[in-house]
Structure 1
Amino acid sequence: MEGKGPVDLVLVEFSGGRFDGGILAELETLVEAGTITVLDALLVSRGGDGSVEWAEAAGADERLAALVGEPAGLLAAEDAEAVAEELQPGTAIGMLVFEHTWAGALAASVQSRGGRLVDWERVPAAALTALAAT
């Protein structure tokens, strides 16, 4: 994956089992700016009666389907089932896999100048907040 950026899996839980389409506007902005590339998405919900439904991007929302394009196949039924086991009734989870496109451009620049990316670690925001509080 030389020249590619790091890839993240993000899980976002929604109470009431509803996904807010307003989030798609922010994702569209990030994609259009070249900041991220959405690779895959699944939406999983558990109804008040305990029933579970899940959908890939193409079956969930046409705007989300447009962002994902051809799914990378990184998320599958097994992922939806695993997440569904933890869902409380009346909740939903959006699973999103995306590449940090901006970082891929940086890595390519480093490599084209003879450099080598040695390590890249994520520091969670909660850890930074805790450090700042001390």
Structure 2
Amino acid sequence: MKVTAPVELLLVEFPHSEFKGEIVAELVRLSEAGTINVLDMLAIRKNEDGSVEWLEAADAASELAELVGEPSGLLAEDDVEAIADDLTPGAAVGMLVFEHTWATGLTSALREAGGSLIDMTTVPPAAIEELAAVIAEED
């Protein structure tokens, strides 16, 4: 697996274990557009009785399996165990590891200039909205 851009792990909780087809369609669109490269994906569900089920993308519906291809091995059973402990019965979590392929050119330019990425943080939209509200109040 050759990675040329930043990689991110995304965890999304679904309180009622409802995965929608629109999610897969959007991931396919982003991948086909060259925006992301899906490296690995799995879904974890905690049943009402506390038992845990999980599914790797390679074992899922054909469109999802095609999107991920051969799983990278970045997500494994120990990840499932770590997430499942905190999961509410009846809920599910989708785990997605993807490469920000849109940043490949920028990453190359930074490396060629002698730079190296030392940190990358995703700022939640709610935090941006809160900050914008504070700035608006100060104006």
Report the TM-score range of the alignment, normalised by the length of the smaller protein: 0.7 to 0.9
Taking the aligned partners of 2:79 and 2:119, their CA distance within structure 1 comes to: 26
Aligned partners of 1:40 and 1:98 also within 8 Å? yes
Greater alpha carbon shift after TM alignment, 41-50 vs 118-127: 118-127
Aligned structure 1 segments of 4 or more residues deviating by more than 4 angstroms: 117-120
2:14 is aligned with 1:14: yes
- Equivalent residues, number: 133
Aligned partners of 1:57 and 1:64 also within 8 Å? yes
The Cα shift of 1:127 comes to 2.8
Structure 2: gaps of 5 or more residues: 135-139
Q: What's 1:102 paired with?
A: 102
Structure 1: gaps of 5 or more residues: none
Aligned partners of 1:17 and 1:47 also within 8 Å? no
Aligned partners of 2:3 and 2:99 also within 8 Å? no
The Cα shift of 1:83 comes to 0.6
The Cα shift of 1:37 comes to 0.3
Q: What's 1:124 paired with?
A: 123
Secondary structure in structure 2 of the residue aligned to 1:26:
helix
Aligned partners of 1:17 and 1:90 also within 8 Å? yes
CA deviation string 1:14-71 (max 9, x = no partner): 1222211210111011000000000001110011222110011111222211111111
Q: Which amino acid aligns with 1:98?
A: F
Q: What's 2:32 paired with?
A: 32
Structure 1-normalised TM-score?
0.87
Q: What's 2:137 paired with?
A: none
Structure 2-normalised TM-score?
0.84
